Amino acid sequence: MTLRSDRPTSALGRGLASLIPQRAASPSMIVDVPLVRVAPNPFQPRHRMDEAALEELAASIREHGVLQPVLVTETLDGYRLIAGERRVRAARLAGLERIPAVVRQLADEDQLEVALVENVQRSDLDPIDEALAYRQLISEFGLTQERVAERVGKARATVANTLRLLDLHPDVQATIADGRLTEGHGRALGGLEPGGQAHVLSTVLGQDLSVRQTEELVRRLREPREPRTPAPRPRLDPDLERVEEALRQRLGTKVSLSRSRKGGRIVIEYYSDEELARLYERLIGGTA
C-alpha cells in the first residue's frame, strides 16, 4: 500500500541546493573521500533500510560506480555523513575504498533538515520515520509545526497528521512503517484508544479492509451503547460487559449479550452481505 497522499511543493521543488548554505570563498567541488573516514549521520531520519534493495544498489555500484556524490561535513578526524547513507553502505558492500562527496559545513539542525528533505524527495522514508524526524526538529531544535512545514515544503496540516501517527499503538505504527497499512488506516484507527487499536488491527489486516471500511468499523465501535433500562434489556454484570466489549473488538461489529434464567443470547449485527461473509469466515474458519 502506498502512503504518499501529499506531495512536496515549494521547498522540495527547489532541490537540496536551496537548503545548503554555500561557501562564498570557493565553488562546489566533488572530492573522493576514504570511506573509513566517513562517520554516520547522528541525525539520520531513516531507521529502517531494505537489505535486498541495498544489495541491488551495491551490485549496480560494482558495475557502474557511485553516480551521485554523497554530502558530508568535515570533522576533526575525518568526515560526517549528511546525506547519502544508502550509497555509503552499498559502496562498502561493493568493496569500494573511496566515495565521491560534496563537502559542506552545516549546523546540526541543517544536517537533520537536509537528510530529511533528501529522503522525502526520494520517497525513501516511511511515514513513521518521517514523523520521528519532524518531532526531532520540534523537540531538539525548537521549530514549530508551521516552521517545519515551511522547511520541508508541505502543508502544516500534513505535518500535523504525520506527527499524530506517533500516538498510535506500537503495533499499528509497525504495520504502517513496513507498508502493510497506509497513513489513512492509521488516522482511522487513531479514533480508538491504543488498546482498542491493537484489537482491531488483526481484523483490518486479516480482512484487508480499505481505509473507508476501517473508518466505518471504527465509527461503529465508537457508537454509544443503547441506554440500558430494566426492560427489555437488564443491566449486565461487569464480567458480561467485559465479554461483550471483547466480542465487539474481536468481531469488529456490534455485539449484544442478554441473560435469561437458563442461559442467554448473543446477538451479532451485520450491515451487508460482505460483512456477513467476513463474520462467517471469522467464526467458522472458512467461506460460506
Identify whether 270 is part of a domain. Answer: yes
C-alpha cell at 24: 562564498
Quote the pLDDT of residue 25: 36
Q: Are residues 110 and 230 in the same domain?
A: no
Identify whether 261 is part of a domain. Answer: yes
Q: Are residues 14 and 152 in the same domain?
A: yes
Quote the pLDDT of residue 233: 52
Q: What is the pLDDT along the chain (288 residues), one digit of tens a residue?
A: 434 344 344 444 444 444 444 444 344 578 888 999 988 877 666 667 777 878 888 888 888 888 888 888 888 888 888 888 888 888 998 999 999 988 887 777 677 667 666 666 555 678 888 888 888 878 877 888 888 888 777 888 888 999 999 999 999 999 998 889 999 999 999 989 888 898 899 889 988 899 999 998 898 888 765 555 444 555 667 878 888 888 888 888 888 887 777 778 888 887 777 778 778 888 887 665
**Kind plus residue range of the DSSP H or E element containing 131:** helix 127-141
Number of structural domains, the chain? Answer: 2
Quote the pLDDT of residue 8: 41
Q: Are residues 147 and 240 in the same domain?
A: no
Last residue of a domain, one of 132, 148, 164: 164
Identify whether 195 is part of a domain. Answer: no
**Kind plus residue range of the DSSP H or E element containing 162:** helix 156-164
- Backbone φ and ψ for 49, nearest 5 degrees, come out as -140, 135
Identify whether 1 is part of a domain. Answer: no
- Backbone φ and ψ for 102, nearest 5 degrees, come out as -100, 130
Identify whether 193 is part of a domain. Answer: no
Q: Are residues 147 and 265 in the same domain?
A: no
Say if residues 258 and 234 touch (Cβ distance below 8 Å). Answer: yes
Q: Are residues 274 and 156 in the same domain?
A: no
Identify whether 191 is part of a domain. Answer: no
Domain with 64 in it: 10-164
Quote the pLDDT of residue 230: 45
Q: Are residues 127 and 19 in the same domain?
A: yes
Last residue of a domain, one of 164, 195, 210: 164
- Backbone φ and ψ for 32, nearest 5 degrees, come out as -90, 120
Identify whether 214 is part of a domain. Answer: no
C-alpha cell at 201: 488491527
Quote the pLDDT of residue 10: 40
Last residue of a domain, one of 149, 164, 179: 164
Q: Are residues 242 and 160 in the same domain?
A: no
Q: Are residues 43 and 119 in the same domain?
A: yes
Quote the pLDDT of residue 18: 46
> Which residues are marked as active site?
85
Identify whether 284 is part of a domain. Answer: yes
E-strand stretches of 23-140: 30-34, 38-39, 70-75, 78-83, 98-103
- The CATH code of the domain that includes 111 is 3.90.1530.30
